[in-house]
Structures are given as structure tokens and as C-alpha cells.
Amino acid sequence: MTPPVMQAPQTHGAYLQSAVKQDGDGVTAKVPWYRTRTCKVIMVGLGILAAAAAVAAYMASAFVATGILGAVGLVFWGIPLYQTIFAPKPLAQRTVSAAPQPLPKPIPPIAPFINTLTDYHGHTLKHYDLTSGGDRQILQHVQPCRPVHDPARPIIISHPEGAAGLARDYLLNNPEALIALGIAGNSGKPGGGLQNAYYQFNSAQVNRKAKGQEEALFSEWLINECGAGNSADQRDLFENTVQGQWGFTYGQTGKITIQGRDYTTLNNPAGYKDAWPLSNIPIDQSGRKVGYIIVAGPNTCANANDKTGEGSMANTLNARALTDYAFFKECVRQTLITLFISARAEGYDVMLVPQISCGIYAGPWKDAMTGTWQDPVTGMIHSDFSRGDFFREILPSVLNEKIDNSGLTIGHLFNEVIVPTLPPKAPKAPKARGGRRAAGAAGGHH
């Protein structure tokens, strides 16, 4: 690599007699004597000596010698004086930079894995598309939060106000925490039920206690920032940040989404490796904020209320995941990996994990994912989320995923990993005729 060209010769050291310069190609060469600081100092000294000798000659009435020595002194002083006043640049060079070194190898760019979609009123929405890879490149730019011998272990914390309430209480006790609040989203429609069948914002659905986790948390944001009942500002905020940034659009034909995938025929679990981080979300009126990380896991249950078969859920129903539980679980796992990587890349150090594909999206796998079973003696329906495959199997395998060769895993990237749940409900009684009663989700989630 060719070293950078220096515009002017420069000297090494303050009083180095064998001065050198750096040529444009890095070759060292002699510097002309009159450009060295050493010569300037010597000439000024000789001028002083000549002047002293001239004074001595004058005192001895040796006027010829006085004239000669005075002239010599003026010459010795005149040259450095001229260099200082009229040609200061060569002599002003005191030191030289270190010899040119090869430039460091540039860090591979993160793009095209990360794309900023919108930036509105302090809210930046990005898209992490890791469907074709990019995990390792992004992980090169992040630092672990925990030592190698102590990775974060997932814990379940129940809160009557769900994930939003848990985030508020956590920030109250840990004001320096940077919380990523995960949202189990709809891969066909941002905000889920907050948009109507025509993919338009429906302010009537803004409700902190909405049935779905996605709808409830988006409502939480819009109400906290715009105020309850302020439909105009809510609409403006929603439409300028997330609306239309992924999923289907009204009038669209076919099942290909904006992100370029047909989820109904998807056979590669990596097809679910999308995440949409949304920044600076107020969690209450105190000014405390979190980040939303929206991901969308596999859907194996089309919306029962959709009679046309054209809704976003019907058009994202994955046929293979509906019949292949191992495939379904791997899709959930890949979704979680993307959730964690994107959250840490955005700088968050506490992860609130959504129950991805554990609610309506779970379809026939809901009981296995959530740890729901029927007592063979009493017939009562019980649910223990810690015994479900999501928390017992899938989430630990994600946190144990290695990120480099030093033993660090995804679990080292966060100070805490928490799965928020709602308080448990009383066990459900069996149906009167002995039929199996479906177990409801303890809080809205997909």
C-alpha cells in the first residue's frame, strides 16, 4: 500500500545534525543543511561570538578587525533572521510524523443486513433482515454484558399489567437499565388489530387492555405519547412510523409480503429471521422509555373470524409448521435468535422476551408450548409456562447459542432475560360431556 504523500520536508528531532525527510514514497533522504534547526542555532551562536570579538577589537582600537568581525556577525545573524521572517516554513518543521504504516483493514459493513425505514419525532424504525445470514457480522460490533462464567439465565416474572407493567417497575428500581421490550408481531400487518381490513389505522382499537400483546403494547405507546382519545395524533404517529413497513398492503394480490416472503409455503426456518426495532417508546408519563423489538414467529392458526380467507393471518399460515412440530419449534428458535441479536446491536442490556407463537399462532402446538395439560384423574386443565417447550427447551437453546470461539453465548449479551407473564388463572374445569376444553393464554401473545 502506497504511504500518504507529505507536502513538505520535515526534520527528525529538535537538534539532529543528520536531518532527514520523508519522500512521498516513504524513502528517507538528506535534508539540505540550510533547512535544519541545528544550523540555525549554530549560526546564531557564531554571530554572538563574532559580535563579542568585534566589540573586543573596537576596544583595542583595531578598527579593521572590528569591521570584518562585525560583518561576519551580521552574516551569521542575517541568514537565520531571513529564514525566520521570509522563509519560515522549512525551518518551522520541528518533528516528523511516524513513518507511514499500512492502513488497517476496514471492518466489513453491517449493511445490507440493517436498514433504517423511518425516523419520525425521535422514533427510529429499523429492519434487521438476517434471513440470508449476517449474524456473525453484527455480533462483531457488540459487547457482552456478563462474564464468560456467568451467562444470563431466563426467568419468568408475573405481573398484573403484563410486559408494560413489568418494564415500568423494573425501570423504577433500575433507572439505568436499557430495556428491549419484545413484541410477538403479525408478519402480515404491523400493529395487528390496530389496522382494519383495509390496512388503515383504526383508533377505536387503541386499548391498553387489548386482547393481543401486539395490540396492547402498541396502544400503550400511542396513549402514553399522544394521550387517550387523541385519535388524530395517534394516527399521525402510527402512520409515519410503522404502518406499511412490512406485511401486506390493501389491494395486494398474492401472498408475497413487503419483506419478500410467502409464509404459507416457507420451508426454511431462517425465513423468520426479521426484526423491527422501534426506539424511544415512553412506558409511562415520567419520561422513562424502552425500545420495542417486533418479531413475527410462525403462524399455524388462521384467524377464525376471517371468513374471506384473505386476511393477514390466513395469508401467513405456514402449511409445514402446521403439521411438523420440530419444524415449528426451529422457526420459533430462529425468530428468537434474531430478537436477541437485534436488541443487543441496538444497545439494550435487559431483554423482556415475548411468548412467540405460544398463543393464537401456536395452533395445535399451544398446549406443548405453554405447558398446559389435563389432569387424568380430575379432568382439570392446568397450565405451567415453565414446563412448556418454549421456556424449557427453545429459549435455553437460544441463550446457549455460541457467538464466538471464546465460549461467549447469546446469554452473555444481556444483564437479564425475563419472560413476562400474567398472574396464573384458576385451573379450568373439564367440559360437561368430557370433551377437551382449550386452555386460554395467560395474557395476549402470538
When pLDDT is averaged across residues 126-152 and rounded to a whole number, the result is: 94
Number of H helices, E strands in the chain: 12, 12
In the block, cell 462474564 appears at 147
Q: Name the domain boundary from 105, 140, 171.
A: 105
Q: What is the pLDDT of residues 54-103, one digit of tens each?
A: 787 777 777 777 778 778 777 776 777 766 666 554 433 334 444 455 55
pLDDT for residue 431 is more than 60: no
* 339, containing H or E segment: helix 325-345
The residues with which 69 forms a beta bridge, in sequence order, are none
- Judge whether 154 lies within some domain: yes
Contacts (Cβ under 8 Å, ≥6 apart) of 327: 269, 320, 321
What would the pLDDT profile of 244-303 be if each residue is shown by its tens digit? Answer: 999 999 888 889 999 999 999 999 999 999 999 999 999 998 999 999 999 999 999 866
Which range among 95-109, 371-385, 418-432 has the greatest average pLDDT?
371-385
Count of beta carbons in the 10 Å neighbourhood of residue 104 = 6
**Alpha-carbon distance values, 359 to 108, 242, 257, 417 (Å):** 39, 23, 22, 20
pLDDT for the residue numbered 52: 81
Q: Which residue has the cell 405447558?
A: 371
Segment holding 155, helix H or strand E: strand 154-158
CATH number at residue 298: 3.40.220
Select from 203, 110, 139, 148 the least CA-distant residue to 338: 139
Say whether both 82 and 179 belong to one domain: no
The rounded distance, in Å, linking the Cα atoms of 229 and 250 is 26
| Identity of the residue numbered 348 | Y
Assign 392 to helix, strand or coil.
helix
Q: For the chain, how many structural domains are there in total?
A: 2
pLDDT, tens only, 157-186:
999 999 999 999 999 999 999 999 999 999
Q: Is the same domain home to 146 and 163?
A: yes
Task: Give domain status of residue 335, yes or no.
Answer: yes
**Cα separation, 97 vs 100, whole angstroms:** 8
Question: What is this structure's pTM?
Answer: 0.72
> Mind listing the pLDDT tens digit for each residue in 196-219?
989 999 999 999 988 899 999 999
The CA–CA distances, whole Å, from 211 to 29, 370, 424, 438 equal: 79, 17, 16, 17
Tell which residue, 165, 182, 163, 149, has the closest CA to residue 348.
182
Residue 182 cell numbers, joined = 419484545
- The answer to the question of residue 438 being in a domain is no
The Cα 331–Cα 318 span in angstroms is 10
**Residue 101 and residue 137 in one domain:** no
Residues 72 and 140 placed together within one structural domain of the fold: no
Give the number of other CB atoms < 10 A from CB of residue 324.
Answer: 15
Indicate if 34 and 179 belong to the same structural domain: no
If asked whether residues 154 and 266 sit together in one domain, one would say: yes
Would you give the DSSP letter of residue 16?
Answer: -
Neighbours of 286 (CB within 10 A): 11
Of 220, 202, 245, 235, nearest in space to 420 by CA: 220
Q: Residue 313 pLDDT more than 50?
A: yes
Q: What is the pLDDT of residue 165?
A: 96
Percent of the chain's residues with pLDDT above 70: 77
Instruction: Check whether residue 209 and residue 273 sit in a common domain.
Output: yes
440 part of a folded domain: no
d(CA 212, CA 301): 14
* Same domain membership, residue 65 and residue 160: no
Which residues face 381 on adjacent strands?
374, 428
- Is residue 159 domain-shared with residue 285, that is, in the same domain? yes
Does the residue 243 lie in any domain?
yes
Beta-sheet pairing, 114-120 with 123-129: antiparallel
One domain, residues 225 and 323: yes
Residues in CB range of 405: below 8 A, 6 or more apart: none
* Integer Cα distance of 80 and 247 in angstroms: 77
Kindly state whether residues 180 and 118 are assigned to the same domain.
yes
428 assigned to some structural domain: no
pLDDT of residue 45: 78
pLDDT value at residue 29: 44
Among the three residues 78, 105, 132, which one is the final residue of a domain in this structure?
Answer: 105
Instruction: Name the DSSP letter for residue 376.
Output: T
Domain that holds residue 65: 1-105
Confidence of residue 6 (pLDDT cuts 50, 70, 90): very low
Report the distance separating Cα 157 and Cα 179, nearest Å.
15
